[in-house]
Amino acid sequence: MSTTSLSRTLLVGLSLIAAVIGNDTCDDVVQLTSTDPLGPFYREESSMSNIIVSRSLLIDPANVFVVNGVVYGNDCVPLSGARVEAWYAGGGGEYSDDDYRGQVFTKECGEFQFTQTFPAVYPQRPIQHIHYRISASDDTQLLVTQLYFEGFIPSPYNPDESTIVTVVDEPDGSKSAEFHVYVSIPGNSDLDACKSGVENGETGVNSTIAFQEETMVPGELEGEGSNSTVTGIDPNEDATLIEAEEPDEEGEGDAATSVLRGDNLFD
């Protein structure tokens, strides 16, 4: 039996957080992230997931857009335990009550992440954007804002610089962006520990973060007519392993594995 790599991802939503904790961009006076209207498409109690699009669309890396971010307080200290809600127009420019929206809580060093498709436009507002609502741990609303993308801002739109990010083309064909958010209350993280975590690869640019609904098996491996099997997710091991095995015509298996790890994957 030979082992090959899958060209299509078995696990979605565990990509690297590209956010530097305890960054050097803070001045004596912090520039808070600018606000935007909540808009008519906000829905309370969206699903607790960082994957905010139909999983079937994420099989092709070209459809994948990952937003990595950190929520900071007005003192440049990360804010853990904050609720981050996100929603956007996907597909042909439509908002959905189910897809294209979700929420997560920031991690110990303020990190959050959403995996989605790149936003679409719609006739009433032809600029690609993502809505965010950020609340404190006691549900006090801290910020409503929208994220915009350099190179995708048509005239006459002129959003605040604090809400414009650069879109990065990743080697696998996916896209990513990094969004640092600054809110009006102090942070609550251990800044020294967060900086140390970055240096040791435990958080920040070299870390992985796991949320709910991490796993996805491609349709060709689990769909009708497929003889494939998924042979393991072991929370007791140092890595989360999913192995999908597709027998050939002679019955010999050609296995493909994907290994990713989030320390709190099974919390």
Which tens digit of pLDDT belongs to each residue from 162-214? 999 999 999 999 999 999 999 999 999 988 888 876 655 555 433 434 433 33
Q: What confidence tier does 115 reach under pLDDT thresholds 50, 70, 90?
A: very high
pTM of the full predicted structure? 0.71
Q: What whole-number percentage of the chain has pLDDT above 90?
A: 53
- pLDDT tens, residue by residue, 207-240: 434 433 333 434 433 444 444 333 333 333 333 3
HSE-up of residue 62 (Cα within 13 Å, Cβ side): 0
pLDDT of residue 233: 34
Q: Which residues contact 104 (CB under 8 A, 6 or more apart)?
A: 48, 49, 50, 83, 84, 112, 113, 114, 211
Residue 202, class by beta-carbon neighbours within 10 Å (0-12 exposed, 13-18 middle, 19+ buried)?
A: middle
Weakest-pLDDT range from 10-14, 39-43, 149-153: 10-14
Dihedral angle computed from the Cα positions of residues 142, 146, 149 and 152, in that order, rounded to the nearest 10 degrees: -170
pLDDT at 124: 87
Distance, in Å, from the CA atom of 128 to the CA atom of 52, rounded to the nearest integer, reads: 16
Beta strands in the chain (DSSP E): 2-4, 65-72, 83-87, 101-105, 111-116, 130-135, 141-149, 164-165, 168-169, 175-182, 229-230, 240-247, 253-260
Q: How sure is the predictor about 94, in pLDDT bands with cuts at 50, 70 and 90?
A: confident
Domain ranges of the chain: 1-11+213-267, 17-206
Task: For strands 101-105 and 240-247, give the pairing.
Answer: unpaired
The arithmetic mean of pLDDT across residues 147-157, rounded, is 97
User: Does 3.40.50.2300 match the CATH number of domain 17-206?
Assistant: no
Burial 183-201 (b: 16+ CB within 10 A, else e): beeebbbebeebbebbeee
